[in-house]
Each structure stands twice: as C-alpha cells, then as structure tokens.
Structure 1
C-alpha cells in the first residue's frame, strides 16, 4: 500500500499533462501559420464568410499538424535539446512530459487533422499530408544536409501560403509564391545565424549541420535573399492582376526587412522569428501597416 501510494503521488495529474501537451504543440510558433491568410488578403473577391471560415479551418489544421511535427522533432532531438540553453526547457527535454504519452497524443491528433483536411478539400488534404511527410523527413535526416535544411524550412512556409489559396480556390501568380519562398529563406538564414553564434564553441552538439556553416557564408546568403525578396515583391506589385497601387507598400516591405536585419546583426536576435512579431514594435508596426495598406488598396 505504501509503495502504491508513493507512485500515485508522483504521477502527474491530467490537468498538468494537458498543459504540457499543449505547450509541446508550441502555440507561440503558430504565428508562422498566418501565411495561410495571405491568399485571402490578396483575393478581395474571396473575402466573405465562407472564405474567412475556410481559411480559419486551414489555419487551425496547419497549427495542429505542425504541432505533431514538433512532437516528433522534440522526441528525436531530446538529447540534443538538453545541450541547448533554451530548448532544454521544453516539456520532453526537461523530463516533465513522458515521451510515449506525447507520441500517442501526436499520432491521434495527426489522424484527426489529416482526415478533416481531406474532407475540407482533397488537394488541401494531400498538400497537408505532403507538408507533414516533408517535415518528418527533415526531422529524421534532411536537417543534417547543409543548405538543403534551410530550403526545406522555406518550402514549408510556401506550402502554408499555397494551402490557404487552395481552400478558397484562389488563383496564384509565380511571383507571389516566390515572395513567400524568399521571405522564408530570409527568416531561416537568420535563425541559423543566431544558433551558430549562440553555440559557437559547441555548435555540433546541438545541431550537426551548424558545423558546415560559417558567419560570413550566412551573411552573404542573407544579403542575396534580401535582394531577391525585395525584387520579387516589387515585380509582383507591377505584373500581377492586382491594383498597381500596391507599389506603395514596397517601402513598408523594405523597412520590415531592414528592421529584421538590424535585430539579427546588431542586437543578436533572430533565433525565434515568431517571437519578434510580438516583442519588436518596429516589426509589428510594419506588418500591421502592410496588412492594412493591402486591404485598403485592393478595395479602392
């Protein structure tokens, strides 16, 4: 009886497990999935109740599926995360959440999410399935391949934007998808640079691919991608079927990217791009101004 009582006391209650499972889904990173609404913002004719509802459902499904990816990723990287000053606080790495419990929960959540996605739209369901497979491949192996790792991260962002367009049957231009891809590469490079400097003397212990990167290389890649992003968006405002007055938003895009470069290169941030959205007033202001400007211009 005494041993059973001791074991019972050590067992976490359901509420604590539920909180840990929710944290394991990394809700603070769900802001990345806001790209789902990109197609809706640039498709005024689709901005109705049905379009908004379809985009909201797609956003939620991307959040849940990406959460499943995070569960698997943290399970695979549990030992490496324990060597990282920040990631050691994650539920599994810290030892507060049982890995088996997290995997079972993730598997159940994944089946429900993909089933709902296929029911909503067959192409969207297939895209979401491909998104999961790509990210699992990244977590298991592809993250160790230099250059390819950041390109896969960028493709993940592009698939979010594409999924948002599929659920509302919006047409895409190649320039729109290129903009999303280059912005995603821009953020991924900044994240790698932050990790490289943070773990400069022990970079291989947390992420093997960091051994193959150097600060000068990442700085050069960042400069190239910054230029490509600004050029592709500028061309999009001129050659798309949207209002020509979208060109007025080009300075806002330039400011947002330059502000992010300042945060990365001067203040040493960029490891968690999703958090800068809430923490930095300059980035937040540029995003809000950009979104409001696009909506107003396209409704003129």
Structure 2
C-alpha cells in the first residue's frame, strides 16, 4: 500500500489538534478535502483511524500505530532534507532545541555561542518549555534535542548528562536559625513567608507541589518574574525563596544573602540532554549534542 505524505501530515495535525477542522487548517486544506482524505485513508486500510465524539476526535488503536510511524517517517524526511542541504556549499541547516527555564537562563549562553562560532552555516531555534512538555515533544518528534530535568516519565528517550541543577534555600543573613551553609529540610520551612516566582513558572509549580505533599500551601507574600527580583526582595527580609544554585550565583551577585542546600532528594536535580534516538540525529544536531555534553 502506498501512503501520501500529505495524508500523513494531515493525520498528525488532526491527532495533535484533536480536531479535523483544526488539522485541516494547519495542513492548509479545506475541511471537505481534509475529511475526504481521512475517509479515503480509512477505506484503504479497512478500519477506523479516529473516534469521533462531541469534543473532537482521538485516535483508535490502529490510529495510534499510524501516528507513531507517520512521525518517524516525517522526521526521517526532515533529517534527509537537512543532510542534503548540508551538502550544498551555500545552504543553511537549522537545529530545534527545547530547554527548560534553568537551562535557558543559566547554562546555554556559552555552549551555544561556541557552537554557532564553530558552525557558521547552522542556525539554532531555542524554545523554553517546562520539562514534562519537552519530554512529550521529543517523543512526538517535534524537536531535535531537549534539555530537561531527569525524572521518572522520560522512559523511551535516550539521554546524556548536561549539568547539575540543585535547588537551594535563599534567605537574608541571620533571618533563620541555621548556620551558614547548613543543609535544611524543606518541611521545616513551611511556616516561613516566601518570595515566589510567577504563577505558571515550572520551578515554582514544582516547589508548591512539594508543599502540597505535606498538605500545606506556601505563604507567598509576593510573586516576581525572575530570580533577580526574588533575590533583591529576599535581601530586604521580605521572605525566603527556593532557587537553582546557578541562578543564585548570578542573580544574588552583590547582595547580602545566605544560602543553604536543601536535603530533600527532589532538590538535587540533574539536567540531561535527550532525544528519541541519538543515532538518528542529523549531523548538525549531533555536533550540537557533543558541544552541550562536553562543556560541563
């Protein structure tokens, strides 16, 4: 049986959007044409690919098989396109990199600058996403590489170490009954006022989820967009904050602050760089991977 690439792209867009109408728009097809293509594909296979319901559509078990193979086929075509483009002297290649907030803010400037200087015909698209969404996007073949917090849920992806990213308690000196540098338990901080990051910030959600494990909500006096602002307010004695150690080193420069490692296992985070299969990366993406993992 022969498969039309446009049908495969359409089917993936429909599955991602959970809507034939939105899938048709993303594929730049009229709705009647898109519906006819899906129906013809189902007729050729002799089975349904989508379950239609009031809120849209979702793939059948057969549809899930087609989705998996369609993503692999289209990803291989993208790699083929990049490899062929790289053979042309004046061509440019683009690598898609997803990274969580800590990686974007604290760890990527130098390796990306080194890579781009060494690869003048390669461009890099960097998009910041929370770690769970990065894992999902990599599984779906929507990026070449991703940098995310190593945690359960990344099964099926290949990963290599990137950077340690431990979380630390930040406080005004003398405001808490701990010796300088003493490790502290998060549970012992739940009575304290907090300076938090913005609602929806992945790190802040992670910290608040740990408080919920103890049946508590953090007493957040103020939320701010960045670690720089959080450190400035903590230094004024307005509360404590939980931040990546790398963020504190940059954002707390010149401020009177005390920091304490958190003894909780969830705070000893490790960032990894991963993808579905390192062997299937394009030459440009492989070169970027080597720069990322070689600069620890």
* TM norm structure 1: 0.22
Structure number with higher strand proportion: 2
For the pair shown, the structure with the greater C-alpha radius of gyration is: 2
TM-score w.r.t. the length of structure 2 is: 0.22
Question: More helix by proportion, 1 or 2?
Answer: 1
